[in-house]
């Protein structure tokens, strides 16, 4: 094996933990000192490090213990010809959950790991931490990055067709936030605001007519929507996923068990399991279902999509088009082929959808939505409601004149 020839940088983060600190809030892993992992009692499990790919965190009860751990890590790294990326490493010490000043961590004569200064943070798996995760700071960073990517994609609208631009948003901008769900504490209200902001940006770039239905934006293109990922739905799906994982794996996996126990001590709004239960309950109420438990995770997620479609369909004006389609037993697949193909320009896509959502100034719209008129009958034939459908294909006078 040619491992020795390659010189890799190992990004390491060090967390030291001082004496006399059991059951620390900083790191839930440090609640005991026994290495015996054979029983189910989570307080007896000691975790000395966290490792994911090249991101490594050492956790120790004392400076001495940490020093020993770093030597073990150094020996191992030297043997496989890996090097520490010292500039990316930090050492941090806590006393009773508070960050305290400590010495740099010595690796060998020439090399030290700097201790983290007060007010500074270190990154583990892309998340800023110091005395625990820095939720507010992370939220700000993630929202900015998501907007930056969204703007970048929207600026390319002349080069991408309607479908591809929506796909790009889902594949490049949304994952920035999705990665943080369940790690960074978020409220549904905050998430809803991000969706609103995205909607406004789409309007700014003429990709969404403000009079068209907002929920239709999030319905699958195959079902008559425009296929945008709703961040609120992505958030809810992710929370339900994590809760499902914790609830099914805690018996087999002691670490999952620790996380689950820790979860139960969190306040309601920060607990994944409690939030997931709340989301499932709300979904059931919206769909007039009594029992959610038997339904399974896949169905629950599908229902997130269904409830958006239902909201669109139930709107007096916006839903008129989709309601008519259901009534006339015509092929949904063929009807929405132009949407699922998505090869129109994104502005054209938006205008057609807005017209179908009755967002034009018809008399029907003026009567039913604006309430500025009382008569909804067509100004040409005076027989039928003057809706968009009627003007396009239903008005006998209009058709006679135009053929
Ligand atoms: Zn008419």
List the chain domain ranges.
7-131, 134-359, 360-403
Higher pLDDT, 9 or 363: 363
Q: How far is the CA of 28 from the centre of ligand 1 (A)?
A: 70
Please report the pLDDT score of residue 296 as a whole number.
66
Q: How far is the CA of 397 from the centre of ligand 1 (A)?
A: 6
Q: How far is the CA of 361 from the centre of ligand 1 (A)?
A: 15
Please report the pLDDT score of residue 260 as a whole number.
93
Q: How far is the CA of 215 from the centre of ligand 1 (A)?
A: 30
Which own/partner contact pairs does 281-290 have at CB distance under 8 Å and 24+ positions apart? 283/307, 286/310
The model's pLDDT over 83-118, given as tens digits with 9 standing for 90+, comes to: 777 778 888 888 887 788 888 888 888 888 888 888
Q: How far is the CA of 331 from the centre of ligand 1 (A)?
A: 26
Q: How far is the CA of 335 from the centre of ligand 1 (A)?
A: 24
Q: How far is the CA of 158 from the centre of ligand 1 (A)?
A: 37
Q: pLDDT class for 9, splitting at 50, 70, 90? A: very low
Higher pLDDT, 14 or 160: 160
The model's pLDDT over 43-91, given as tens digits with 9 standing for 90+, comes to: 567 788 888 877 888 888 888 888 888 888 888 888 888 877 777 888 8
Buried/exposed 61-82: b ≥16 CB within 10 Å, e otherwise: bebebbeebbeebeeebeeeeb
How far is CA 327 from its chain centroid?
36
Q: How far is the CA of 318 from the centre of ligand 1 (A)?
A: 20
Q: How far is the CA of 314 from the centre of ligand 1 (A)?
A: 25
Please report the pLDDT score of residue 38 as a whole number.
42
CB 19 within 8 A of CB 62: yes
Q: How far is the CA of 362 from the centre of ligand 1 (A)?
A: 11
User: In this structure, how many other beta carbons lie within 10 angstroms of the beta carbon of residue 280?
Assistant: 21
Q: How far is the CA of 363 from the centre of ligand 1 (A)?
A: 11
Q: Is the pLDDT of residue 264 over 50?
A: yes
Q: C-alpha angle with apex 221: 229 to 363, nearest 5 degrees?
A: 105
Q: How far is the CA of 390 from the centre of ligand 1 (A)?
A: 6
Q: How far is the CA of 225 from the centre of ligand 1 (A)?
A: 28
Q: How far is the CA of 359 from the centre of ligand 1 (A)?
A: 18
Q: How far is the CA of 400 from the centre of ligand 1 (A)?
A: 11
Average pLDDT rounded to a whole number, residues 13-37: 32
Strand (E) or helix (H) holding 337: helix 337-341
State which of 232-246, 274-288, 319-333, 365-379 shows the largest mean pLDDT: 232-246
Q: How far is the CA of 358 from the centre of ligand 1 (A)?
A: 15
Q: How far is the CA of 360 from the centre of ligand 1 (A)?
A: 15
Q: How far is the CA of 320 from the centre of ligand 1 (A)?
A: 17
Average pLDDT rounded to a whole number, residues 242-262: 92
Backbone angles phi, psi at 117, to 5 degrees: -75, 160
Please report the pLDDT score of residue 33 as a whole number.
35
Q: How far is the CA of 387 from the centre of ligand 1 (A)?
A: 9
Higher pLDDT, 358 or 178: 178
The model's pLDDT over 171-227, given as tens digits with 9 standing for 90+, comes to: 999 999 999 999 999 999 999 999 999 999 999 999 999 989 999 999 999 999 999
Task: Count Cβ atoms within 10 A of the Cβ of residue 289 and give its class: 0-12 exposed, 13-18 middle, 19 or more buried.
Answer: middle
Higher pLDDT, 400 or 396: 396
User: In this structure, how many other beta carbons lie within 10 angstroms of the beta carbon of residue 380?
Assistant: 17
Q: How far is the CA of 401 from the centre of ligand 1 (A)?
A: 11
Higher pLDDT, 327 or 355: 355
Contacts of 35 (CB under 8 A, 6+ apart): 46
Angle (deg, nearest 10), helices 320-327 and 297-314: 110
Please report the pLDDT score of residue 295 as a whole number.
61
Q: How far is the CA of 381 from the centre of ligand 1 (A)?
A: 4
Please report the pLDDT score of residue 182 as a whole number.
92
Q: Is the pLDDT of residue 32 over 80?
A: no
Buried/exposed 109-138: b ≥16 CB within 10 Å, e otherwise: eeeebebbeeeebbebeebbbbeebbbeeb
Mean pLDDT over all residues of the chain? Answer: 82
Q: How far is the CA of 384 from the centre of ligand 1 (A)?
A: 6
The model's pLDDT over 134-168, given as tens digits with 9 standing for 90+, comes to: 999 999 999 999 999 999 999 998 899 999 999 99
Please report the pLDDT score of residue 292 as a whole number.
52
Q: How far is the CA of 344 from the centre of ligand 1 (A)?
A: 30
CA distance linking residue 237 with residue 308, whole number of Å: 14
Q: Is the pLDDT of residue 229 over 60?
A: yes
Q: C-alpha angle with apex 322: 319 to 327, nearest 5 degrees?
A: 120
Q: How far is the CA of 385 from the centre of ligand 1 (A)?
A: 7
């Amino acid at each position: 094996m040619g491992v020795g020839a390659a010189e890799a940088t190992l990004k390491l983060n060090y967390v030291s933990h001082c004496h006399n600190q059991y059951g620390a809030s900083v790191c839930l892993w440090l609640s005991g000192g026994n290495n015996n992992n054979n029983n189910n009692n989570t307080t007896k499990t000691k975790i000395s490090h966290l490792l994911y790919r090249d991101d490594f965190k050492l956790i120790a009860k004392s400076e001495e213990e940490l020093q020993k751990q770093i030597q073990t890590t150094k020996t191992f790294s030297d043997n496989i010809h890996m090097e520490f990326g010292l500039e990316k490493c930090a050492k941090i010490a806590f006393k009773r959950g508070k960050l305290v000043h400590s010495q740099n961590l010595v690796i060998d004569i020439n090399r030290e790991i700097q201790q983290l200064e007060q007010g500074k943070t270190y990154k583990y798996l892309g998340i800023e931490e110091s005395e625990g995760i820095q939720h507010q700071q992370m939220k700000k960073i993630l929202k900015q990055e998501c907007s930056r990517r969204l703007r970048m994609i929207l600026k390319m609208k002349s080069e991408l067709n309607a479908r591809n631009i929506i796909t790009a948003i889902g594949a490049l901008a949304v994952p920035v936030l999705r990665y943080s769900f369940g790690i960074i504490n978020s409220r549904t209200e905050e998430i809803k605001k991000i969706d609103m902001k995205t909607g406004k940006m789409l309007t700014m770039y003429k990709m969404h007519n403000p009079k068209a239905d907002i929920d239709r934006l999030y319905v699958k293109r195959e079902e008559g929507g425009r296929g945008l990922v709703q961040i609120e739905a992505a958030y809810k799906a992710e929370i339900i996923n994590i809760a499902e994982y914790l609830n099914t794996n805690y018996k087999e996996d002691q670490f999952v068990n620790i996380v689950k126990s820790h979860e139960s001590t969190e306040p309601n709004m920060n607990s994944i399991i409690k939030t997931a239960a709340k989301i499932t309950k709300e979904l059931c109420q919206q769909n007039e279902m009594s029992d959610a438990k038997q339904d399974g995770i896949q169905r629950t997620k599908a229902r997130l999509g269904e409830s958006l479609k239902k909201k669109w369909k139930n709107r007096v004006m916006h839903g008129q088009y989709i309601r008519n389609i259901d009534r006339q037993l015509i092929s949904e697949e063929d009807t929405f082929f132009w949407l699922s193909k998505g090869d129109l320009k994104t502005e054209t896509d938006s205008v057609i959808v807005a017209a179908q959502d009755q967002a034009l100034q018809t008399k029907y719209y003026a009567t039913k939505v604006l309430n500025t008129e009382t008569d909804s009958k067509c100004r040409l034939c005076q027989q039928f409601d003057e809706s968009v459908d009627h003007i396009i294909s239903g008005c006998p006078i209009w058709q006679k004149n135009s053929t």
